[in-house]
Structure formats: structure tokens, C-alpha cells
């Protein structure tokens, strides 16, 4: 079952990457909330366990409206297309709820965390950001 879900996830990402860009015009100043932590042991496995039991929303809890799906695809495409970001940053969790974007997962540096936030802010349709990305310190 897990293998099938992984294949569906990969197919979904490939489909999203093929969608046309919706634009990068700035909306009226979206609000930004920055959370997360910095620690040497930041990794996705531990974060996944934390999110699963802390009552935090995960990508599986995402609303399934066409607008949210299109905005999610545009945000994901913008993050993945920036080749200056690390593989960790390309694989962050992105959750969209009526224009509000939540970012979770590990990134390599505080600068990368801010860069991802700026990239997401530039996507048309983003009304607010909850930046809960965690910075992995060496």
C-alpha cells in the first residue's frame, strides 16, 4: 500500500511540474508568521513523527479545492525551480488553505529559510505564510 501511495505522490509531483505557471506578481502584502527551530538533529523523520502526533496539519489534511491545488502547484513549482536551494529545501512540506501557505520541514541554513519564504511570497494568490521551517545546524 505504501508503495502505491509513493507512486501516486511521484505522479502528482510530475503532473504539477507540467502545469503552466500562474505568475509571480506580488499580491497585497501577505502576512508572515515565522516559527521553526534550529538544531543539529533536525531531519524529516523526526519532524514527521512530531507532526503526526502534535495535531499539526500535514499535506494529507490539505483542502482539495481547485484554487488550493493550483496555488499549491504554483508554490511547489517556484520552490523546485530555484536551483540555488538545497535538496532539503526542495522537499519541504507545503500546505495551502484558501491562500494561506504553511511551510514545514528542514532546510540547511537560516538564509535558505528566508529565501524560501521570499519565493513563496512572490507567488500570486498567497495571502499569508506560516514559515515553520526548521534549520539544520551542523
- Burial environment of residue 60 by CB neighbours within 10 A (0 to 12, 13 to 18, 19 or more): exposed
Strand partners, 94: 103
* pLDDT tens by residue, 39-81: 555 555 555 555 555 556 666 666 678 999 999 999 999 999 9
105: number of Cβ within 10 Å: 21
pLDDT at residue 123, as a whole number = 96
**What are the Cα distances from residue 60, in Å, to 5, 22, 57, 80, 96?**
12, 23, 8, 20, 11
* pLDDT tens by residue, 73-118: 999 999 999 999 999 999 999 999 889 999 988 999 999 999 999 9
pTM beyond 0.85, yes or no: no
Amino acid at each position: 500500500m505504501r508503495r502505491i501511495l509513493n507512486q501516486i505522490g511521484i505522479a502528482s509531483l510530475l503532473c504539477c511540474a507540467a502545469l503552466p505557471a500562474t505568475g509571480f506578481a506580488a499580491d497585497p502584502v501577505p502576512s508572515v508568521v515565522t516559527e521553526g527551530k534550529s538544531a543539529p538533529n533536525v531531519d524529516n523523520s523526526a519532524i514527521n513523527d512530531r507532526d503526526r502526533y502534535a495535531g499539526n496539519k500535514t499535506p494529507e489534511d490539505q483542502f482539495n479545492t481547485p484554487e488550493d491545488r493550483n496555488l499549491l502547484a504554483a508554490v511547489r513549482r517556484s520552490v523546485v525551480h530555484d536551483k540555488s536551494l538545497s535538496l532539503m529545501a526542495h522537499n519541504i512540506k507545503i500546505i495551502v488553505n484558501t491562500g494561506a501557505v504553511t511551510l514545514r520541514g528542514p532546510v540547511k541554513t537560516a538564509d535558505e529559510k528566508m529565501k524560501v519564504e521570499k519565493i513563496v511570497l512572490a507567488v500570486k494568490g498567497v495571502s499569508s505564510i506560516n514559515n515553520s521551517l526548521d534549520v539544520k545546524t551542523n
